[in-house]
Amino acid sequence: MHNRFARELARLSLAALLFIPLASTVSAQSNEPLSIVSATVNYAANTITILAPPCCNSVTPTVNLNGVNLTVKSFNNSTIVAQLASMPAPGTYLLIVQDGYYGGQFHLTIGADGPQGPIGLTGAVGATGPAGAKGATGATGAAGATGPAGPIGLTGATGPAGAKGATGATGAKGATGAIGPAGPIGLTGPTGPSGAKGAIGATGATGPAGAKGATGATGATGPAGAKGASGATGATGPAGAKGASGATGATGPAGAKGATGATGPGGALDFADFYALMPGDNAATVAVGGDVSFPQDGPTMASSGITRASASEFSLAAIGTYQVMFQVSVTEAGQLELTLNGSAIAYTVVGRATGTSQIVGMALVQTTSIDSILTVRNPAGNSTALTITPLAGGTNPVSAHLDIAQIQ
């Protein structure tokens, strides 16, 4: 009860003052039951610090900026810190704070000044000044407002019945009290139910005729007609068409084995090389479950179906068998593996226990779908992010390579 009374007195006192904001980025004045002294934007942390004493002794306040409720990070009896999801565009916005049954408004300007600078170092404690002269006794203040009713006391013992008093005269009707301040803005109501399903639209116009289909297969030959009557012998006709070839004769005996022909040329059906140079590429560590980047293109077969999808993902257009080789200089002890379409290929894991050296891997990978995606990954089950070593062993940038060749 005492805290609520103190808060009411403080609000009545603050409502009569004109406040100057504490930060160059805000300016407003509030005459609402909850007085907001200032609101300061922290551009680095995306937060708003609101000074509104006294407030928020036990109830978490509601902070709304331009119609959007913000997350309250912390609060006490004078200060509220609210989190912005993102920094709004420069402009002036309506800030509403609700503390239980009380509310206040503030016009907050964002973007007028540059971002807030870092907090300065705490200055040294100054020497204690001399005691000031005793001030004159101040004038007696006006009587404070009547405090709230105290709790109902325990029921006393029933006293003896007093004599009946005379009936008092009817008192005059009291004046109508002033209209109280407007209550705080209520919370947004829940979304209403979905409307009824609309009627089915009219049937659309008939589309244009499709392209002419392919000619159907020739039908089977019909049965022979009945034999007609013999006609008169005609003149000798031209020679008939050549008759059908007779049945193939039995296979003859195998001939003698011929001489072995010259060896034909060999090679991959397709190939491509991708690489990275450190320093420059792979500046950040490769997180557990992350993929190594090979952002630069090496020699590649013309019109190759092995292409990059991103700096760390590579597309295998054709279904087939691919020989994959990779080498990466790594600072920590660790492992690398190949993945196909996001799934780890268990038999491709290679690693090293100690020392700074290269991790080298080579495996055959078979695809079962077109445009499969291949990556070199720091396995998800490991605990260490990997540093791709720059300038390993000297002063020149060190390369990491991924070579892919389709062999079938």
pTM of structure: 0.37
In this prediction, residue 222 has a pLDDT band, given cuts at 50, 70 and 90, of low
pLDDT class of 224 with cuts at 50, 70, 90: low
Give the chain as a 3 state SS string. CHHHHHHHHHHHHHCCCCCCCCCCCCCCCCCCCCCCCEEEEECCCCEEEEECCCCCCCCCCEEEECCEEEEEEEECCCEEEEECCCCCCCEEEEEEEEECCEEEEEEEEECCCCCCCCCCCCCCCCCCCCCCCCCCCCCCCCCCCCCCCCCCCCCCCCCCCCCCCCCCCCCCCCCCCCCCCCCCCCCCCCCCCCCCCCCCCCCCCCCCCCCCCCCCCCCCCCCCCCCCCCCCCCCCCCCCCCCCCCCCCCCCCCCCCCCCCCCCCCCCCEEEEEEEEECCCCCCCECCCCECCCCEEEEECCCCCEEECCCCCEEECCCCEEEEEEEEEECCCEEEEEEECCEECHHHCEEECCCCEEEEEEEEEECCCCCEEEEEECCCCCCCCECECCCCCCCCCEEEEEEEEECC
pLDDT in tens, 75-102: 887 888 999 988 888 999 999 988 776 7
| 76 or 404: which leads in pLDDT | 404
Residue-level pLDDT at 356? 65
Is the predicted pLDDT of residue 30 greater than 50, yes or no?
no
Residue 366, pLDDT above cutoff 90:
yes
What does the pLDDT read at residue 144?
Answer: 72
Note the pLDDT tens digit of each residue in 259-277.
655 544 556 899 999 999 9
- Full set of structural domains in the chain with CATH: 2-110 (2.60.40), 270-406 (2.60.120.40)
pLDDT at residue 289, as a whole number: 93
Q: Which residue has the higher pLDDT, 166 or 82?
A: 82
pLDDT attached to residue 4: 47
Task: Report the pLDDT averaged over residues 314-331.
Answer: 95
Among the ranges given (14-28, 350-364, 393-407), the one the predictor scored with the smallest mean pLDDT: 14-28
